[in-house]
Chain A
């Protein structure tokens, strides 16, 4: 390829690695493509929820009252703490303290497991009350959004495990970016589904 013919006139910034605006972000740029896609999906799902709720506010409010708000609060605290440990892990790895970084990342992943345990207790109570994904209205959307989020917690734990195995500083940033997306999305989902009336 004749490289000398390429004249970059589109931007004053020299794009060294070809990733354009994504190169400034921590971790692997493709992770940020995934994060943006995830945010779009959760955003659209919550918009859909808002629209459906507007359509039938009374039934939605009644259904919402069956949720366990305390479990939601506990899970919020669990995920935020987990995210805090993930951030500490990235910091430790950047300073070259590999052992400390591993310990912190393991704690972050373990708290992810706690989240899943609390969530499954909640789900089993919902199911015992006779609500499932086919109930329609509020509960179909609730199961879809929280279920999709829980799948991301599972995926996040797998990603953190991979980072523990291949523990370069860059991988720490990539894994933690995904993990923070998972807890940030929860912080938006939780008030929308559990609290806002």
Chain B
């Protein structure tokens, strides 16, 4: 760490990790309700509220993670302190309070009941988010404008400005349900398949720059190619949400063609991270951060790219729409792309922020494999459930609830996978926050190994 104001990242990441824990615990509760619907009193903890907290908490902690990442990497890239650390803390207070108030409100059934997933926050929370976003954009833009401008900060700023601008569409809720959905996707799709990808690519580029020692020139060019293909495919790829909502039929062609290519930037990120690590050959001591970074690009490629492509063509989606195939894709895509990139930058930055040598790497890497196994197993399970559901319900015409009865075994397996995921998440948080004198397994130096 070279700049004092990079410490701002810490508070954002503490907040993020707390909400991360809440998110996965509510995921576990939701998974339990699938298996034992009457275990929790439904008037106290109805499924819709549990689901809402699970998805909202996810988005909120990922955003907190991105904010933290921006406050950590922008000073190093811009070569100056953050414009106003005070404003950064004010922004955190507003955002974090809004998030907690929203979650607490949900438990008491206070939410904007507009049937819009992810956007259930009451209006005053939405306005708070916008105020926090404006403070954030002012703060980081001022820092970058007065400092060194690099491709990494340019792309990060482009992504974060996009995040804020597209969120404004959450305020617009037309009465016509088709029009409502069209604009709803402006927030949801253009975030996760547009501007968030830019944030992800720039964070990965920063980590690659720091860890592999490859020339900035080379890394920037990869970044440009990834950004170009992301925007080229992702923007019109929005069409794959317009198939059956009442939009004109030509969206089936536009959505199918462009979203089929959305796999390209994700594949680009796999090639990018592996090529940089291979080219760089710098033996960086922080193995855990490297594992999360490589894992991020690979799992995002499978979760967002491959599992997305599985049901993105309109002729396939006609049958699979809204089945467990979607749930399978959603879990691996969010985990691979956005959870992993956040955990990667945290694994890289925390030892520097706390001024400790890489610590608890063994536990950190164990948590990577636990969470990854859990989420991948969950994804595969839900994929099987989704294929079966598609056939029974959409092809054979068996009623929805009768089909759900037959999927019970898969939901049981998913619950087990979810439990493993929660254990992994708690282990990650422990490995990041709790200091240790030495690694759980002491590393052996190559030079001291006996020659044969």
Contact = CB atoms under 8 A, between A and B. Distances in A.
Interface of A: 1-3, 5-10, 15, 17-20, 29-30, 33-34, 37, 40-41, 44-45, 48, 133-134, 136, 140-141, 143-144
Nearest to A38: B232
A189 B280 CA distance: 44
24 contacts: A2-B282, A3-B215, A5-B281, A6-B213, A6-B214, A6-B280, A9-B279, A9-B281, A10-B278, A17-B217, A19-B221, A20-B221, A33-B224, A34-B232, A37-B233, A37-B264, A40-B261, A41-B261, A44-B260, A45-B253, A45-B257, A48-B257, A136-B249, A140-B249
A1 B229 contact: no
B278 A18 contact: no
Given A8-B279, A18-B218, A144-B254, A37 B232 contact: yes
B209 A44 contact: no
A172 B233 CA distance: 27
A43 to B, nearest CB: 9
B275 interface: yes
B282 A5 contact: yes
B228 A30 contact: yes
Given A19-B221, A140-B250, A7 B281 contact: yes
A41 B257 CA distance: 6
B249 A6 contact: no
Contacts of B278: 10
A45 B260 CA distance: 11
Contacts, number: 79
Given A8-B279, A18-B221, A133-B248, 10 more contacts: A1-B215, A5-B213, A5-B281, A6-B214, A9-B279, A10-B279, A17-B217, A30-B225, A44-B261, A134-B250
Contacts of A33: 224-225, 228-229
Contacts of B275: 10
B216 interface: yes
Residue among A3, A17, A29, A37 with the most chain B CB within 10 A? Answer: A37
Contacts of B258: 41
A151 B209 CA distance: 38
A40 B278 CA distance: 29
Q: Is the interface of A mostly helix, strand, loop or mixed?
A: helix
Contacts of A2: 213, 282
Nearest to A17: B217
Interface string B201-215: 000000001000111
Query: In the complex, which range does the number of interface residues on chain B fall in?
Result: 20 to 34
B122 to A, nearest CB: 39
B320 interface: no
B228 A34 contact: yes
B256 A48 contact: yes
Contacts of A41: 257-258, 261
Contacts of B225: 30, 33
B228 A37 contact: yes
Nearest to A37: B232
A30 B250 CA distance: 29
Contacts of B253: 45, 48, 140-141, 144
A130 to B, nearest CB: 16
A6 B215 contact: yes
Contacts of A20: 221
Interface string B224-239: 1100110011000000
B37 to A, nearest CB: 43
Contacts of A45: 253, 257
B215 to A, nearest CB: 6
Contacts of A136: 249
A58 B258 CA distance: 28
A147 to B, nearest CB: 9
A150 B327 CA distance: 39
A48 B264 CA distance: 19
